[in-house]
């Protein structure tokens, strides 16, 4: 059903675009919307989703950056990214065609439902073919395909594909250890994602995550109090806090139990949420194609490295989730407002990547107010923010409201994510001086 | 003549020759029945608002007005009750408006019980309901009913599904068990249902809620209760089926007004989403068997697209519950064997009502099952996409759910243990959403007709035409009981008919199946039996009466005699092998927790739970045989010395030096020729890496006094995961040579670990495998081996069995071995072999082979021309092996595992199979490009039957072991002349709760004694006769001689203590079953 609606949207585009030109920025935005939608449809977990956003936009950037003066390649600026095809000097290219080709090839190895990305490419190619000379079209497309293949090889080498063939993760058993959580008691999600090569950070552990509160079951201990705070907050939630928790829930696959009837509902992932914010801001600024890919890429790198670094810490520390601790030691019937995602607590992944993305967006656009309507399709009202960092703060504390993190886990994630965002801003310079 | 005309004539000929159908549908219109159960959905009443919204109605049967014909009461979900009186000619008149059974409110009606609850001899009607209180209507005997709900204690509000009646306290009246479910909307994970209720009848329609004191504490989402005497003590017991993760219960009557739930001890597994149930004796052994329904689809496509499986990783996984119908065969020893797969009744899709009745009057209980659902919430694609993408679930989301109209099933009982699906030939093909159903002889002609409640349409009425078709050739006896005043219809009586060599046992029950009440009269088909010799009635009050004159082909009324003898259970026959002696071995096998599937997700079964092995021999030279039992990982192998008083005491003898190995087998033998027994311990398991030092097999030398010293590099064949050790002097040099079987390279299924043949050279064991037996080293995933002279040339040949291979025979020719399996007739015998023993079964002087296989009680079983094939390669090139096991569906090799599991291991396949429907259509050639598939390793299994290979003139001819021996894997075989008649009888044991993450457990095995008639015909002796009862994961057996007394038999059990049995001689007169 959803698939159909996406394809229909493309068809409408074809009808209207004969009159209206397909700009490079259109291409950048349409591909990012497509990737966000297919990720939801495919049900990728948040860390894997961020990886897809990163490599897809890297492909778009590498295929397009020569269309505008003032931009350079990302070769040499990313870990292990040592070469990427260049256009033949002195010949004409249409970089929109190249970009579509690069995105299509990259997505063919990143996504599952590639019939959707293929149809987007087909629709865009049809429009472009009508205005671009055949030889230029073919040459540009071939160049884009080369870029796409290069990105595929680069992505494959990051170690992620091998993590899929690894044995199931054995989580350690101890009093403070994470164990699968109700209601689905699912196995941990993407437990090996912390082992994937970071794209900008020197390593997943480059920045130290502020530590969690020392574990204790003693009633006067800070940890017990932290859990009590989760209960207290959950009991006294204001309507606005509930709204905030739901607005930033971003649990990509939510399992619903109605007796016999168990079904999944899909939402946007945390990374997808920030890619969507990026999309809106870029559109508001009427950014050009290369600018779009520059911002999309760097935000995606922040998300990707944010997840990798956060996951490395989560599975190093293996901290128990509030629902488990509270059910074991305080109240065996307590349930959090949000469904607890299936991985260890410390630190909050959403807090981490949100802070990282907010830093990158602030570097690009400054402190600008914006309204986020990402969650409207999921039934939640738009929310307005003074700036990106305020949004990040709110997303972070929303995990406490939702009952799935201790306040310490939210704060630590926010601090860690800020460091990661700063590193991405510092290291990925693609403008020529 | 045109081809069309020719085809037309052929069609006519075919239709004429078609066999007569048992049932003929009688249209509701012709019968005068206009009742419909239309379920009108609304945003507040649908499966999302109340997950029991579509459970449907029921059918109640009984002669309400005393005219001799059975009348019908229908419940509808939302529209009250319909009552129809029989005109006696298969037409009915609608008295719903006038008879007094009126329900006008809008609550939901579920089950209907037709029974005399007021104790006046007339059939009353009790209607169970959701939301509002249950209702009781009292009958004046002429079919005029009065609503007595307001004064009856039975009028409870309990979200009830059905009620059953039984005289549990033997006071002569009918007590009531009410099955309750729970709140309609069930969120979270901690809610449980409402407790079922037991009401004691205090006479005159007065009832007292005795639930709390009775021991009944069933808080599940109960959907049915069935009544029967399950332990043959003359007191009625209760089986309760519970939906979802709450387990089913078997409430055994403690004969003092209380009940105890014995389900967890009595059953190795049960249905998960248990719905309807029934009780009856399917194999005519006089023991009541149980059938419960679930929702496993029969069709492979629906199996893949429905919520038809359960994973050990599922949130509600319970080792006792599986998604399948259960046919619990009563083994007479307090335990049941679920033989649903072997019987062929495991899968009937979304099922509601099961009725056991002899539909074709051949003397055996057949099985009828209703199924279907108004909204198919099991459809995986639907569930998965309900929320996919955009908005939250709408309150009318139910309107887009697919409907599953399915054909009901009829299974003909062919052997007592095997049922044939005869739906297509029975006149029952009519896809509907069917819920409750009743068996009833509507036309009083002696065969059982069926009335089925359908959702959204009129009921289906199927008239049984067996008597019409077969005439006088159909022989039957009908019995209607006239019991005590408070139980006029004799509900709960057990009637046993003796007819020639056959005995038929039936119990009178009111409510049966699901939401429904069947005919309380009994019909016995006699099959080919000529005469009824006698009829014994065990009345529910505990007295018995015997009746010798019973007319054929007619109903007889049998009244409870005024002066009747008390019934006493038959004197229990002596259980010959029951351990009566004090012998015990203080050893508990602690199997370590290891999940093979976490390393190899698509592995067909585990390799990490093979032990314990056992070795028997006199360790310390005192003339008494001692025992060595091998330990799992983290547990040392241990020795136990036999004392003069038959006890065994732990003996610290230097063999506990290794605890980190998974020891799976042991052998005591004199390696060095110093006249004492040395010890070989074989290590195995899957929880290692290849070449881990824990995989080194160990040789210990005995100092003559029972103390062992490890011989460094005593078994120099390398580090391999092993399975077994056997010895023989193959080169006839006077010392014992050794074969150690290789199992699986850990984590590398299906790569065979190295099997090793050691030649004994004056006490030094040398690996000579490749020199004297080329090919033996990698002969397969072995499990057991034996040395025997297969060709009569006086030297010992080697027989090796294992999985995905045929039994392989290596012929010994002057110390050189060649594989001669093919020329001996083993081609095409690839199985999942676990055990083998050489024994002269047919008493002709040569050795035959008894080979234990996985058995036929399995979800996927290969048949002739339809092998199970497993393809192995790194298909998605991500560094791990992918195993795709397939079974044959109409010539196509379809994956056995579900989409979720396979895609979890091979995520790139998601690109091709976005939906469960797409995956359900994919065979191996779709999943794997043929060119890639051709490079894959291919494993084949063609037979799962445990088999005797009869040695007939040097060739081995396969004969399957009896049906009862196929209900579980056979992990060990011991030949033994148990009755002293000079031939070899056979003892087998085994279970394997070690299978894959979706289908865990082959656990119906109880051990079995097979008695030989001297010519090789083996007859099972049931545990209650033999006393040999070995449930759980039995692994190996060995005989322990006890000086001056009968030998003992030891059975080792994975994860438990071993069991010991007396090998007392059986009387020659003991009869087996089938």
- CA-CA distance, B117 to B138, in Å (whole number)? 8
B595 touches chain A (CB under 8 A): yes
Nearest residue of A to residue B49, measured between CA atoms: A258
With CB atoms and an 8 Å threshold, state whether B389 touches A166.
no
What is the dihedral angle through the alpha carbons of A204, A205, A206, A211, rounded to the nearest 10 degrees? 130
- DSSP secondary structure code for residue B456 in this structure: T
What is the dihedral angle through the alpha carbons of B73, B78, B80, B86, rounded to the nearest 10 degrees? -30
Candidates A112, A170, A333; nearest CB to B911? A112
pLDDT for A262 equals 64
pTM of the model: 0.87
pLDDT, greater one: B361 or A267: B361
pLDDT for A20 equals 61
Closest-CA distance of chain B to residue A166, Å: 7
* pLDDT value at A391 more than 90: yes
pLDDT for B390 equals 42
- CA-CA distance, B514 to B295, in Å (whole number)? 14
- CA-CA distance, B889 to B1037, in Å (whole number)? 38
With CB atoms and an 8 Å threshold, state whether A260 touches B273.
yes
- φ, ψ at B1060 (rounded to 5°): -115, 140
Asked whether the domain spanning A170-427 has the same topology as the one spanning A2-162, the reply is yes
B619's tokens: 């360790």
A249's tokens: 């829930």
The ranges of chain B with pLDDT < 70 are 1-20, 183-193, 308-316, 384-394, 996-997, 999-1000, 1071-1074
With CB atoms and an 8 Å threshold, state whether A258 touches B187.
yes
ipTM of the complex: 0.70
Closest CA to B693 of B659, B728, B664: B659
Residue B322 half-sphere exposure toward CB, CA atoms < 13 A: 25
> What is the secondary structure of A257-318 as a DSSP string?
EETTEEEEEE---HHHHHHHHHHHHHHHTT--HHHHHHHHHHHHHHHHHHHHHHHHHHHHH-
> What is the secondary structure of B853-913 as a DSSP string?
-S-S-SSS--BTTB-EEEEEE-TT-SSS-EEEEEEEETTEEEESS-HHHHHHHSGGGGGT-
Contact in structure between B449 and B443 (CB atoms under 8 Å) = yes
Q: What is the CATH number of domain A2-162?
A: 1.10.606.20
Nearest residue of B to residue A167, measured between CA atoms: B599
Candidates A2, A184, A263; nearest CB to B389? A2
Nearest residue of B to residue A40, measured between CA atoms: B389
Cβ atoms within 10 Å of B518's Cβ, excluding its own: 26
pLDDT for B48 equals 77
A174 touches chain B (CB under 8 A): no
* pLDDT value at A256 more than 70: no
Q: Which CATH number fits domain A170-427: 1.10.286.10, 3.30.70.260, 1.10.606.20, 1.10.8.60?
A: 1.10.606.20
Closest-CA distance of chain A to residue B680, Å: 33
pLDDT for A433 equals 67
- CA-CA distance, B1011 to B789, in Å (whole number)? 24
Percent of chain A clearing pLDDT 70 (strictly above): 92
Chain B stretch 193-252, residues whose beta carbon is closer than 8 A to a beta carbon of chain A: 221, 243-244
Contact in structure between A178 and A324 (CB atoms under 8 Å) = yes
Of all helices (H) and strands (E), which one includes residue B15? Answer: helix B3-17
Please report, for chain A, the start and end positions of each structural domain, with discontinuous segments joined by +.
2-162, 170-427
- CA-CA distance, B517 to B513, in Å (whole number)? 8
pLDDT for B575 equals 81
Complete edge-to-edge strand list for the sheet that includes strand B947-952:
B835-839, B848-852, B947-952, B955-960
Closest-CA distance of chain A to residue B693, Å: 22
pLDDT for A115 equals 85
With CB atoms and an 8 Å threshold, state whether B387 touches A1.
no
Average pLDDT on A111-135 reads 93
Contact in structure between B134 and B126 (CB atoms under 8 Å) = yes
Helix runs in B410-523, H state only: 466-470
pLDDT for A185 equals 80
pLDDT for A148 equals 97
Cβ atoms within 10 Å of A386's Cβ, excluding its own: 11
Read off the pLDDT band of A43 (50, 70, 90): confident
Average pLDDT on A174-201 reads 91
pLDDT for B15 equals 40
Closest CA to B176 of B195, B163, B157, B162: B163
A56's tokens: 């897809």
With CB atoms and an 8 Å threshold, state whether A168 touches B597.
yes
Beta carbons within 8 Å of B2's beta carbon, 6+ residues apart: none
């Amino acid at each position: 059903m959803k698939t159909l609606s996406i394809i229909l949207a493309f068809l409408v585009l074809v009808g209207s675009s004969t009159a209206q030109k397909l700009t490079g920025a259109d291409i950048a935005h349409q591909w990012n919307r497509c990737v966000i939608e297919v990720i939801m449809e495919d049900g990728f977990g948040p860390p894997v989703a961020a990886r897809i956003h990163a490599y897809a936009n890297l492909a778009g950037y590498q295929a397009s950056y020569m269309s505008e003066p003032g931009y350079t390649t990302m070769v040499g600026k990313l870990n292990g990214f040592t070469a990427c095809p260049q256009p033949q000097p002195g010949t004409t290219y249409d970089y929109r065609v190249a970009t579509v080709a690069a995105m299509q090839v990259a997505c063919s190895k990143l996504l599952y439902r590639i019939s959707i990305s293929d149809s987007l490419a087909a629709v865009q190619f049809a429009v472009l073919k009508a205005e671009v000379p055949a030889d230029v079209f073919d040459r540009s497309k071939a160049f884009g395909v080369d870029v796409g293949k290069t990105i595929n090889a680069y992505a494959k080498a990051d170690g992620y594909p091998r993590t899929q063939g690894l044995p199931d993760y054995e989580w350690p058993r101890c009093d403070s250890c994470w164990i699968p959580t109700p209601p689905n008691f699912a196995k941990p999600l993407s437990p090996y994602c912390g082992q994937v090569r970071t794209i900008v950070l020197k390593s997943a552990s480059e920045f130290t995550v502020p530590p969690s509160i020392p574990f204790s079951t003693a009633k006067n201990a800070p940890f017990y109090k932290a859990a009590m705070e989760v209960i207290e907050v959950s009991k006294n939630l204001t309507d606005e806090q509930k709204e905030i928790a739901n607005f930033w829930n971003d649990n990509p696959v939510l399992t619903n139990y109605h007796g016999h009837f168990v079904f999944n509902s899909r939402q946007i992932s945390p990374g997808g949420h920030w890619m969507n914010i990026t999309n809106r801001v870029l559109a508001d600024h009427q950014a050009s194609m290369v600018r779009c890919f520059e911002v999309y890429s760097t935000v995606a790198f922040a998300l990707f490295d944010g997840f990798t670094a956060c996951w490395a810490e989560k599975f190093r520390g293996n901290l128990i989730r509030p629902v488990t601790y509270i059910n074991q030691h305080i109240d065996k019937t307590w349930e959090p407002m949000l469904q607890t995602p299936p991985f260890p607590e410390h630190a909050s992944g959403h807090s981490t990547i949100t802070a990282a993305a907010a830093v990158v967006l602030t570097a690009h656009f400054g402190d600008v107010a914006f309204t986020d309507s990402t969650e409207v399709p999921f039934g939640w009202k738009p929310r307005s923010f003074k700036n990106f960092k305020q949004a990040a703060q709110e997303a972070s504390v929303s995990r406490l409201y939702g009952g799935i993190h201790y306040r310490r886990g939210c704060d630590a994630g926010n601090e860690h994510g800020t460091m990661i965002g700063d590193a991405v801003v510092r290291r990925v310079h693609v403008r020529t001086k | 003549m045109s081809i069309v005309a020719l085809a037309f004539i052929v069609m006519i000929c075919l239709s004429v020759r078609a066999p007569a159908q048992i049932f003929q549908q009688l249209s509701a219109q012709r019968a005068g029945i206009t009742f419909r159960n239309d379920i009108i959905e609304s945003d507040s009443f649908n499966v999302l608002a109340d997950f029991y919204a579509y459970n449907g109605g029921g059918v109640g049967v009984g002669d309400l007005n005393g005219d001799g014909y059975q009348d019908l009461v229908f419940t509808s979900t939302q529209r009250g009750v319909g009552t129809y009186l029989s005109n006696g000619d298969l037409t009915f008149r609608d008295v719903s408006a006038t008879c007094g059974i009126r329900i006008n409110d809008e609550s939901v009606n579920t089950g209907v019980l037709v029974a005399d609850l007021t104790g006046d001899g007339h059939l009353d009607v009790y209607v169970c309901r959701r939301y509002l209180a249950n209702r009781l209507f009292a009958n004046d005997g002429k079919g005029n009913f009065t609503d007595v709900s307001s004064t009856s204690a039975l009028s409870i509000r309990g979200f009830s599904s059905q009620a059953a009646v039984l005289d549990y306290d033997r006071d002569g009246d009918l007590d009531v068990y009410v099955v309750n479910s729970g709140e309609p909307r069930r969120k979270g994970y901690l809610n449980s249902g409402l407790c079922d209720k037991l009401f004691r009848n205090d006479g005159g329609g007065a009832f007292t809620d005795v639930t709390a004191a009775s021991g009944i504490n069933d808080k599940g989402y109960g959907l049915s209760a069935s009544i029967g005497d399950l332990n043959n003590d003359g007191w009625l017991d209760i089986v309760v089926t519970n939906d979802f993760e709450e387990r089913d219960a078997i409430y055994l009557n403690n004969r003092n007004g209380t009940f105890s739930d014995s389900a967890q001890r009595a059953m190795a597994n049960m249905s998960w989403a248990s719905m309807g149930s029934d009780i009856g004796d399917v194999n005519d052994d006089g023991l009541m068997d149980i059938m419960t329904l679930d929702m496993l689809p029969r069709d492979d496509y629906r199996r893949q697209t429905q919520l038809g499986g359960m994973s050990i990783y599922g949130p509600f996984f319970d080792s006792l519950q599986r998604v399948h119908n259960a046919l619990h065969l009563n083994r007479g020893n307090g335990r049941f064997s679920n033989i649903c797969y072997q019987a062929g009744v495991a899968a009937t899709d979304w099922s509601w009502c099961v009725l056991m009745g002899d539909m074709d009057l051949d003397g055996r209980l057949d099985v009828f099952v209703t199924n279907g659902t108004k909204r198919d919430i099991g459809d995986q694609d639907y569930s998965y996409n309900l929320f996919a993408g955009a908005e939250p679930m709408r309150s009318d989301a139910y309107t887009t759910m697919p409907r599953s109209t399915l054909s009901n099933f009829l299974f003909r009982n062919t052997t007592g243990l095997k049922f044939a699906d005869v739906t297509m030939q029975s006149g029952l093909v009519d896809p509907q959403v069917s819920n409750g159903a009743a068996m009833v002889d509507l036309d009083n002609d002696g065969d059982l007709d069926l009335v089925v409640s359908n959702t959204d349409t009129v009921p289906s009425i199927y008239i049984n035409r067996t008597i019409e078709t077969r005439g006088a050739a159909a022989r039957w006896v009908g019995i209607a009981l006239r019991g005590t005043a408070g139980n006029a219809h004799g509900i709960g009586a057990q009637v046993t008919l003796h007819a020639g060599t056959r005995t038929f046992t039936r119990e009178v029950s009111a409510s049966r199946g699901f939401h429904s009440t069947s005919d309380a009269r009994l019909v016995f088909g006699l099959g080919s039996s000529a005469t009824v010799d006698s009829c014994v009635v065990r009345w529910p009050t505990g007295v018995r009466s015997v009746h010798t004159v019973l007319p054929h082909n007619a109903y007889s009324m049998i009244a409870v005699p005024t002066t009747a003898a008390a019934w006493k259970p038959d004197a229990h026959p002596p259980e010959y092998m029951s351990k009566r002696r004090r012998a015990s071995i203080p050893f508990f096998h602690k199997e370590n927790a290891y999940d093979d599937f976490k390393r190899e997700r698509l592995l067909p079964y585990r390799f990490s739970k093979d032990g314990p092995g056992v070795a028997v021999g006199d360790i310390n030279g005192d003339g008494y045989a001692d025992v060595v039992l091998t330990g799992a990982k983290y547990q040392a192998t241990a020795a136990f010395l036999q004392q003069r008083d038959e006890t065994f005491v732990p003996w610290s003898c230097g063999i506990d030096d290794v605890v980190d190995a998974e020891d799976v087998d042991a052998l005591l033998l004199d390696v060095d020729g110093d006249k004492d027994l040395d010890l070989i311990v074989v290590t195995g398991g899957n929880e290692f890496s290849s070449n881990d030092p824990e995989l080194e097999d160990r040789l210990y030398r005995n100092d003559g006094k029972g103390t062992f010293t490890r011989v460094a590099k005593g078994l120099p064949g390398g580090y391999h995961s092993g399975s077994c050790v056997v010895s023989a002097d193959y080169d006839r040099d006077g010392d014992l040579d050794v074969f150690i079987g290789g199992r699986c390279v850990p984590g590398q299924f299906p790569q065979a670990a190295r099997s090793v043949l050691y030649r004994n050279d004056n006490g030094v064991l040398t690996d000579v495998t490749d020199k004297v037996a080329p090919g033996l080293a990698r002969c397969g995933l072995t499990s057991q081996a034996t040395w025997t002279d297969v060709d009569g040339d006086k030297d010992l040949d080697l027989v090796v069995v294992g999985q995905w291979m045929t039994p392989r025979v290596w012929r010994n020719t002057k110390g050189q071995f060649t594989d001669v399996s093919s020329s001996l007739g083993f081609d095409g015998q690839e199985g999942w072999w676990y055990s083998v023993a050489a024994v002269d079964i047919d008493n002709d002087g040569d050795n035959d082979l008894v080979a234990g296989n996985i058995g036929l009680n399995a979800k996927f079983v290969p048949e002739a021309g339809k092998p199970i094939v497993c393809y192995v390669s790194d298909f998605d090139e991500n560094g791990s092996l992918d195993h795709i096991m397939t079974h044959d569906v109409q010539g196509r090799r379809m994956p056995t595992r579900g989409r979720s599991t396979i895609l979890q291991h091979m995520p790139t396949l998601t690109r091709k199979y976005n939906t469960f429907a797409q995956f359900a259509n994919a065979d191996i050639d779709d999943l794997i490009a043929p060119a890639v598939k051709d490079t894959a390793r291919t494993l084949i299994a063609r037979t799962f039957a445990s088999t005797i290979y009869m040695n007939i003139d040097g060739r081995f001819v396969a004969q399957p072991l009896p049906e009862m021996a196929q209900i579980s894997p056979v992990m060990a075989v011991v030949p033994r002349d148990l009755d002293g008649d000079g031939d070899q009888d056979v003892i087998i044991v085994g279970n394997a709760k070690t299978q894959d993450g979706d289908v865990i457990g082959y656990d119906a095995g109880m051990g079995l004694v097979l008695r030989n008639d001297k010519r090789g015909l083996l007859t099972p002796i049931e545990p209650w006769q033999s006393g040999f009862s070995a449930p759980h994961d039995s692994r190996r057996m060995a005989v322990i001689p006890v000086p001056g007394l009968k030998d003992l038999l030891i059975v080792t059990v994975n994860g438990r203590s071993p069991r010991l049995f007396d090998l007392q001689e059986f009387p020659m007169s003991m009869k087996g079953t089938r």
